[in-house]
Structure 1
Amino acid sequence: MRQTFAVSMARRGMEKKAGFDLEIDDDPRQQQREWVMQRIGWAVLTGLLIAVTFGLFGRGGPLSEVKLPSQRGEFLLEYDRFLRYHSPDMMRVSFTAGAQHTRLKIDSEYASHVQFERITPAPEREINEDGAVTYVFNTQPGAGTVVTFHFSPQKYWRLKGWLAVEDTPALHFSQFVYP
């Protein structure tokens, strides 16, 4: 019977090829396109993973963390360059107090686009004057002081501002807020 089947197949021109008997359409151009798209996808995913690792899309990482000293070294501002809209973040200002009361000024335009949730240590007073929000802190003369602002951005895209301690020149900074 087996021999009869092989003979009938041979008569019809449907000889069995060795090894491959599946009837699958083969389109090498489509397969090549799929391989190219797959490699592009892997490259994009790898790029995103590297960007996240280095802090391009938010907190932490060498691309995001900034330590910016003032012109004459009176204070140091530490902040993240990239933020998320309505996501909690913080900014630190380190300085050596020159008097019992130290005034820290922040650009009022910047302050209007963030919501300060708390300031550590708590300021003694808050004064709005000359395009700035001034915070007055009780400090020990000659002692190192670190003020931490905990806030949430309330505006998308670019936030620009400045900060000054006492009568030092203003230190300008900018942050990018992702939606």
Structure 2
Amino acid sequence: MANDELVSRSLPVQEDMAMQQRVWRFERVGWYLLVVIVLLGLAGLFGNGPLSNAQTTSADGRLHVEYQRLSRSGTTDNLRITVRGSARKPIMLELDGSLLSKASIETIQPEPQASLSQGKAILLELGTSDDGVATLYLTLRSEYVGTLEGVVRAGPSSAVHFSTFLFP
């Protein structure tokens, strides 16, 4: 009986069961692809998830940056910069790269003690805690599509380079 259903018939309508089976197979592959795309999206392929969260540390271990490796154009992204210095002494932090020219800084916490412009870069003076650590939280938004590069420096020997890809 099951094999009778796989035979092409001409009444009441013309059937091509071989073609119908190819269509069903194509349909199943499409469903599997949709499930994979949804799972990748949940995992952070398009922003805010384990696949997009990234962090990098300078060679001397003094500077640590947490950022979004993958994001979407028009959304806000958090950038967390932690730098180690001397207790209760200010630290100069330099932010540079296409990330600053193509993205706008919406919030910056805590407010720097001083901020200066140096060419295309921004210099921020941060106060440190009793243990000599300063943490800066930035919220960035960009309407750009493509790769943005960022550079954070805390002196000549402490530099971190990172990049973010923005989907449309």
Calculate the TM-score normalised by the size of structure 1.
0.79
User: In structure 1, how many angstroms separate the alpha carbons of the residues matched to 2:158 and 2:64?
Assistant: 13
In the TM superposition, what are the counterparts of 1:58-137 in structure 2 within 5 Å? 58-61=47-50, 63-98=51-86, 100-137=89-126
- The sequence identity of aligned pairs, in percent, is 27
* Secondary structure of 1:40's aligned partner: helix
- Match of 1:47? 36
The AA in structure 2 aligned to 1:57 is F
Unaligned runs of 5+ in 1: 1-21
The AA in structure 1 aligned to 2:153 is A
User: In structure 1, how many angstroms separate the alpha carbons of the residues matched to 2:127 and 2:37?
Assistant: 45
Deviation at 1:27, TM superposition (A): 1.8
Q: Give the structure, 1 or 2, with the largest relative contact order (CA under 8 Å, sep 6 or more).
A: 2
Unaligned runs of 5+ in 2: 1-10
Contact 2:63/2:159, CA 8 A, preserved across alignment:
no
CA RMSD of aligned residues (A): 1.9
User: Mean Cα displacement is larger for which, 126-135 or 81-90?
Assistant: 126-135
Judging changes above 3 Å, is the alpha-carbon distance between structure 1 residues 108 and 161 closer, same or farther for their aligned structure 2 residues? closer
User: In structure 1, how many angstroms separate the alpha carbons of the residues matched to 2:114 and 2:97?
Assistant: 16
Runs of 4+, deviation exceeding 6 Å: none
